[in-house]
A and B are shown apart, each in its own frame.
Chain A
Amino acid sequence: RKEVEQDPGPFNVPEGATVAFNCTYSNSASQSFFWYRQDCRKEPKLLMSVYSSGNEDGRFTAQLNRASQYISLLIRDSKLSDSATYLCVVNGGTGGFKTIFGAGTRLFVKA
Chain B
Amino acid sequence: NAGVTQTPKFRVLKTGQSMTLLCAQDMNHEYMYWYRQDPGMGLRLIHYSVGEGTTAKGEVPDGYNVSRLKKQNFLLGLESAAPSQTSVYFCASSTRGYNEQFFGPGTRLTVL
Closest A residue to B90 using CB positions: A43
Within B18-66, which residues are at the interface with A (CB < 8 Å)?
Answer: 33, 35, 40-45, 48, 56
Q: From DSSP, what is the main secondary structure of chain A's interface residues? A: strand
Contact between A4 and B42, CB atoms less than 8 A apart: yes
A55 on the B face (CB < 8 A): no
Residues of B contacting A92 with CB < 8 Å? 98
Interfacial residues, chain B to chain A (CB-CB below 8 A): 33, 35, 40-45, 48, 56, 90, 97-106
Interfacial residues, chain A to chain B (CB-CB below 8 A): 4, 8, 31-32, 34, 42-46, 49, 87, 89, 91-92, 97, 99-104
Contact between B103 and A91, CB atoms less than 8 A apart: no
29 A–B contact pairs at CB < 8 A?
A8-B40, A32-B98, A32-B99, A43-B103, A43-B105, A43-B106, A44-B43, A44-B103, A45-B103, A46-B101, A49-B100, A87-B42, A87-B43, A89-B101, A91-B97, A91-B98, A92-B98, A97-B56, A97-B97, A99-B45, A99-B97, A99-B98, A99-B101, A101-B35, A101-B42, A102-B42, A103-B40, A103-B42, A104-B42
